[in-house]
Amino acid sequence: MNRGTFAIRAALAALCCAATALVPGARAAPSRLESEIEQRLRAHIDMLASDAFEGREPGTEGEAKTLRYLGREWFDIGLVSGTNDPGHEWFAPVTLVAREPASSTAQFRRARRPVYVDPEGVLMLTSGKRSLVRDAPLLFVGKAQDVDFTRAELAGRVAVLLDGDVEGGARQNALLGQGASAVLTVLDGERTLEEVAARRRRSGYALADDSLGGDLEGFVTREAMVALLKGSKHSLDGLERLAAEPGFTPLALDITASLEATTSETTIRTHNLIGKIPGRRSGAGAVLFVAHWDHFGNCGEETAEDRICNGAIDNASGVAALTEIARLLVRGKEPDRDIYFLATTAEELGLLGAHAFAENPPLPLDQIVAAFNIDSVAIAPAGTPVAIVGRGMTALDPLVEKVARREHIKVVPGDEANEYVKRQDGWAMLKHDIPTVMVTTAYGEIALMRAFFDGDYHRPSDDLSHPLELGGAVRDVRLGVALGRWFADVERVPGPVPPEGKAPPSPQGN
């Protein structure tokens, strides 16, 4: 063999190695590929989490900068618009409404005579613009635990509930869902009305619609409830004792209430970014990758030196991974199915961008074979196994595990990571019957994620002031590419993966 022939063959071999490094499952030159991925991830995060992007708050200049950057990157990679709407290429409009409590009114009567209660002792709130009930009888429901209510019992009544320092609003929501006109929670434990008011004073967000009504929920101090029951045949102490007895049943009180709450509204216009790789087989369905681009803007204390919540891990790292998965998939062979890439807005405000996508999708939702969410991936070091967030809630698990085995990646058994399933866009997709999981190293060693939640999560310290761990994120990207190839292949996945059930089950641990 002469030197010229040898040089040509060596060059061809080098090109072959470079090409196979971009193919999922290929083992040639992994260090070079991983180095390339990590460098690009870091560059995206450094840009998106910089102070220049102002914390990526929806409806601000920070959003405009974020979407300009991502849109340019996606176009340069070779994606095409995925909105399937010529009037809104790339950027799908999402209109939000920010609501803050405005007014609260509570009036009570016994035998048609007014009963005075200090207005400072009652707080009424609504999830809509205005909610009102007039002359509704009060029904004492105790702690509403292990009690089966019928709609006839609750309809037209105000359910009076003992707080008992039970966290969350599940009981209140259940009572409203079962037909109560309103819920009035008696703060009989450690929680104070001031604490409730401070928490609820922050804006609540929703997708804009024409609805004027909403749930009506109130809180009353122990002192105000004692005053309300004065002259009644029941005292608050007596009601608490009754509620603690076995076999307790709801008790009608001899009091009626007229309750009203209103909110003030601000409209926020924001956008989802949608790109895609067109498949070569029209009508074969689609694969969807999702990551939220938004964060909180300025969320530090007003007196703090650093107020910007940059969201480096949450979720500049996720959209960086989404972008690099797209880059590597574009470089491969043309897929059978369309592969969509969705960067959602308003995840931090209640998964609203994901809900907006599902309510006005660019394709029929039943054509989505599988969806993969990506969130806060700059957590785990290289070599960490992956966990499936949403395990057991779709039929995707065995196929995901099969692809992971082909990539020589260990999958953590069990569903411990489902503790967090409601805290990411995948939950919104599941609620719309889109088979969705999050497959990530970030939950592979769950103690690392818990430490993040207890530390920098949703704080100004989630920024670029300390080194980011991207070893696991690189693995997430490589597995994401492999999953995209696998599920976009009609030979390997002939059709939509059937759902396990219409409504996703509640996760363990919530």
Cα–chain center distance at 343: 13
More confident residue, 423 or 127: 423
DSSP state of 411: B
Bridge partners (DSSP) listed for residue 182: 158
How high is the mean pLDDT of the chain? 90
Tell me the pLDDT band of 6, cut-offs 50, 70 and 90.
Answer: very low
Q: Which residue has the higher pLDDT, 12 or 195?
A: 195
Taken in order 324, 290, 369, 279, the sign of the CA dihedral is negative
For the stretch 164-183, pLDDT in tens is 988 788 899 999 999 999 99
In the predicted structure, residue 212 carries a pLDDT above the cut 90: no
Q: How confident is the model at residue 17 (pLDDT cuts 50, 70, 90)?
A: very low
Which residues are registered as beta bridge partners of 130? Answer: 262
User: Is residue 132 helix, strand or coil?
Assistant: strand
Residues 295, 57: contact at Cβ < 8 Å? yes
The kind and range of the H/E element at 438 are: strand 436-440
| DSSP string for residues in 320-356 | HHHHHHHHHHHHSPPPSSEEEEEEES-STTTSHHHHH
Q: What is the pLDDT of residues 36-54, one digit of tens each?
A: 999 999 999 999 999 999 9
pLDDT in tens, 457-499: 999 999 999 899 999 999 999 999 999 999 999 999 997 655 4
313-339 pLDDT tens trace: 999 999 999 999 999 999 999 999 999
Residue 192 CA to residue 180 CA, distance in Å, equals 24
- Residue 110 clears pLDDT 90, i.e. is over it: yes
Whether this prediction's pTM lies above 0.85 is answered by no
- pLDDT score, position 243: 94
Type of residue at 272: N
CATH of 98-265, one of 3.40.1160.10, 3.40.50.620, 3.50.30.30, 1.10.3080.10: 3.50.30.30
Report the percent of the chain where pLDDT is more than 90.
79
- pLDDT at site 497: 59
Minimal CA–CA distance to 99: which of 220, 13, 215, 15? 215
The first and second tokens of residue 136, run together, are: 């509704």
Where along the chain do the CATH 3.40.630.10 domains lie? Answer: 25-89+278-487
CA angle 164, 188, 136 (to 5 degrees): 100
pLDDT higher than 70, residue 16: no
Q: Of 298, 300, 322, 295, which Cα lies nearest the Cα of 311?
A: 295
The burial of 301, by beta-carbon neighbours within 10 Å (0-12 exposed, 13-18 middle, 19 or more buried), is given as exposed
Distances in Å between the alpha carbon of 212 and those of 95, 131, 408?
16, 8, 54
Q: Please tell me the distance from the alpha carbon of residue 349 to that of residue 77, in angstroms, as a whole number.
A: 30
Q: How confident is the model at residue 13 (pLDDT cuts 50, 70, 90)?
A: very low
Q: CATH 3.50.30.30 region(s) of the chain?
A: 98-265
The sign of the CA dihedral 322, 323, 328, 329 is positive
User: Which of the four CATH numbers 1.10.3720.10, 3.30.830.10, 3.40.630.10, 1.10.1060.10 does domain 25-89+278-487 have?
Assistant: 3.40.630.10
pLDDT over 70 for what percent of the chain? 90
